[in-house]
Amino acid sequence: RQMNRFANDPVYLWNGRRTAMHWDLPGLFGNICTGLAEASRVAPDVTSVGVDSWAVDYGLLRDGKLLGLPYNYRDARCALGADAVHETLPQERIHARNGLQFMAFNTMFQLAADKLEGLLDLADTALLVPDLIGYWLTGRTATERTNASTTGLLGVDGTWDTELESILGLPRGLFPELAEPGAELGAVLPDLADRVGFGTGLRVTTVASHDTASAVVAIPMDAASAAYVSCGTWALVGVELGAPVMSADARTANFTNEVGADGRIRFLRNVMGLWLLSESVRHWERDGSRVDLPVLLEQAAACPPPADVFDGDDPRFVEPGDIPGRITAWYDERGLPAPASRPEMARAIVESLAAGFARGVEQSAALTGVPVETVHLVGGGARNRLLCQLVANRVEKPVVAGPVEATAIGNVLLQARANGLLHGDLDDLRATMATTLPTERFEPRRAPAGRV
C-alpha cells in the first residue's frame, strides 16, 4: 500500500555566477517522514525501513551538517568536472580501474567540479543520497555498496580506490565505510521515531540503495537467458552476470559494470528513458494547457511510425527544456522530416526509445555471450503498452512487462530476507515474485520500422 507519493523536482538557485540545479533533499526528507507517520497509523507493527534512490548524487557535510543542497546530476557543471579529470587520466585508464561507462555526471566527475569550486576544502564527509537519508534517520553513516559502485571511486576489486583519489587530488576517506545490502544501519533516532509515531522499534535496513539494483532484484527472470530494461527517467539495459566484463569492446560500447545484490554484476548501458516524454509534456504544459498522457499515447499508437528514429542518447537531450524543439532540430540538421504534431512527436519518442532499448539488448548479448530469449521490462515504462510492443517488435523476442514498482518491491524483498521473513538467494526471491505479481507478455508482431 502506498503511504505517500510526492514529486521530486529540481530547484534552481543563483550561486553568484549562474543559476544551478539542486535537489531539495530536506523537502524530500519531510515527505518521507510524512509517509512514515501515515505508515505508523496504518501498520504500527512495521519494524524496518529501507532507503533507495537514484545514483551518483551526494551531499557534502562538515561535522555532521549538510553544507548545501546537493547538486542535480543534470547541472551543467558536470562537463567541467569530466574535462578536468580527463586532463589527468584518460577514460580508458579510468575504465580499467572501475569498469564503468563514461557518463559526465558520475560522482567522480562531480567531485572534480566541487574541487574546482573549492567546496571540498570545507567538507569532511560525502554521503550518497540514500545514505544521507539513512544518516538523517539514524545518525549513522555508511556507503551502501551497490550505489558506491556508481561513483567511479570503487575499484573492480570491491574496495575504495584510494590511489585514484590521490591521482585526482580528491580527499581520502570522504565516503564512509562500505555496507552490504541487508545489513542493519541502526535504529531510527528516538525523537524522530516519536514524531512519526513508531516509538523505539523502528530500524533502518540497508538495501540495494541504487534504485536499479533494487529493481533488478524484483525481476522474475532467469538471468542465464534474459536481458532487462529498467525504464524510468533513464533506462538501464543489460544482463546480470557473476563477474565484470572489462574488455575494450565493452568500454567502447559504453557498457558499465555495477554491483547488484548478492555480489552480482549488473552489466548494462544507460539509455535515455521516459525523460524525453515527461519533459516534452512539461514543456507543452507551460502555456497553461493540460496534456493527458494516456490519450496522447493512444493517438501516437494510431500514427504511422516515423521513417527515421532519432538518437535519444544525443547529449542535447540531457538538460531540461524544450525537448520537442531539440528533437525537431535533430531531424532538421539531417534533412529528415520531423514530427509535425504532438502525437507524431510522441510516436517518434517511443519508437526511438524502443530502438535504443533493442540496441542495448543486442549489444549486451554480443558482449557477454548471454543467449537472450526474453526481455523483461520493469519500472514506469512497463505501463506504456506501445513501448513494450515496439521493443518486442525490434528485438524479435518476447517482452515481459512488470512489475511497475520493481524498485520498491526489490527494496522490500531484501528487507524481508534480512529480517527472516524470506530466505534464499536472488533466484529464490525472484521465484517468489513470479508467483506473486502479474506480468504482461508482448510477442513480436512485425519487422521494426525507422532507421537511425
Residues noted as catalytic: 211
C-alpha–C-alpha distance, residues 88 and 168, integer Å: 7
Q: Which of 240, 276, 267, 249 is nearest to 356 (CA)?
A: 276
DSSP letters spanning 240-301: EESS----HHHHHTT-EEEE-GGG-EEEEEEEE-THHHHHHHHHHGGGS----HHHHHHHHH
DSSP letters spanning 206-227: ----BHHHHHHHT----TTSEE
Q: Is the peptide bond before 448 cis (omega within 30 degrees of 0)?
A: no
C-alpha–C-alpha distance, residues 431 and 337, integer Å: 47
Q: Which of 192, 188, 217 is nearest to 205 (CA)?
A: 188
Compute and round to an integer the Cα radius of gyration of the chain. Answer: 22
C-alpha–C-alpha distance, residues 132 and 360, integer Å: 32
What angle do helix axes 426-434 and 406-418 make, rounded to 10 degrees? 120
